[in-house]
Structure 1
């Protein structure tokens, strides 16, 4: 499977394409409670929330998102979806530290299939013979190498949502195999479509170093 750009959908490509109802959900929540629930900072007009090693400013009144490090960079739809949904819906549950696959979340076995399958083939294609390359990309995104599989890394998806990638390298007998893991309490911060967007963004940034926004 080719590496998919998470912003390649021309109908839902940019932050400004977010449904107005999502902004309404966020504006209907006490901002201090929203910030505390997901580990953001509220300055009176803007939430500052890190995502995969990059800080973003989310302005509910203006319905605007910007990258703190590169304000001129246009923010992609899936970045916006992840940030606004976790601000609007996070319950504040602390991470359990227990890794599960997205399919193990409630409803995940049905949801993460077909077009919503986690794009692990892209990881296998890019890093199946380059485990050190995966570690280098994870470190560049604020992650760390951990024990597990042939190569394993843990990354800061959101402040309350750590992510994992486990990789078994290809050899003469078996092809490469990758697994993306999420915290077992992820559903208390993001609905399943937000989790899918988060895995898309993770895999795209690991495999290409890019990703809009």
Structure 2
């Protein structure tokens, strides 16, 4: 169990589920004591009694079990999401409170990994985004707005490499993200998004 995961479940157990459902705009199953949370617009059950998150419905392109932070992010989002919808104004993660110091060293974003994986194949980048129900965005050489969590979209911008400049990527968040998550959970959400993009894209060519 990841650090913070136990705390997130304990927080959920102590909260009024109807208040959570209304605040987060989530479906609540009273008999099961569980919420339905969409991750990349695919439904997952957040089961409070069992303290587990599981897939429901049709085939999911993203396999949550292969993610390093999914088991933390799902209950934490349900516990901490605010009644605030995305504004559409994008900011760098480093600009959130505490972000400048946080996004360094072990918490550096995997921008080089994304650039290496997709930098010579923007079509594959856009296909991966489509698998995750992302919207195409007109920025860089290719860009997608990934619906990682209902109120926590992540925008990824790709610039294709050439003989003069290497490929590069940028990850941006909505300026309302700090309303829902502290900086470490924002980082984990970005890692989850990068992992999912690479996972659904398949091996690098």
Identify whether the pair has TM-score above 0.5, normalized to the shorter chain.
yes
Residues in 2 aligned to 1:77 and 1:170: alpha-carbon distance in whole angstroms: 29
Q: 2:16 aligns with which of 30, 33, 48?
A: 30
Q: Which runs of 5+ in 2 are unaligned?
A: none
2:59 aligned with 1:63:
no
**Mean alpha-carbon deviation: is it higher for 142-151 or for 31-40?**
31-40
Deviation at 1:167, TM superposition (A): 0.9
TM-fit CA distance, 1:61: 2.0
Q: Give the conservation status (yes or no) of the 8 Å contact 2:17–2:28.
A: yes
Instruction: Tell me by how many angstroms 1:131 deviates.
Output: 0.7
* Structural RMSD (CA): 2.2
CA contact (8 A) 1:39 1:159 kept: no
Shift of 1:107: 1.0
- How many angstroms apart in 2 are the aligned matches of 1:158 and 1:80? 13
Cα distance in structure 1, aligned partners of 2:21 and 2:91 = 25
Aligned residue for 1:172, secondary structure, equals coil
Of residues 9, 21, 25 in structure 2, which corresponds to 1:39?
Answer: 25
1:45-92 Cα offsets, whole Å, 9 max, x none, are: 210001123321011122122111479x87455112111111111221
Q: How many pairs are equivalent? A: 196
Once the two structures are superposed, residues 157-193 of structure 1 have per-residue CA deviations (whole angstroms, 9 ceiling, x without a partner) of 1111111001111012111110011111111112222
Corresponding residue number in structure 2 for 1:98: 89
Q: Which residue of 2 aligns with 1:171?
A: 162
CA separation in 2, counterparts of 1:200 and 1:191? 15
Deviation at 1:19, TM superposition (A): 4.0
**TM-score by structure 2 length?**
0.87
1:54 paired residue number: 42
- 3-state DSSP of counterpart to 1:209: helix
Specify whether residues 74 and 114 from structure 1 end up closer, same or farther in structure 2 by C-alpha distance, changes over 3 A only. closer
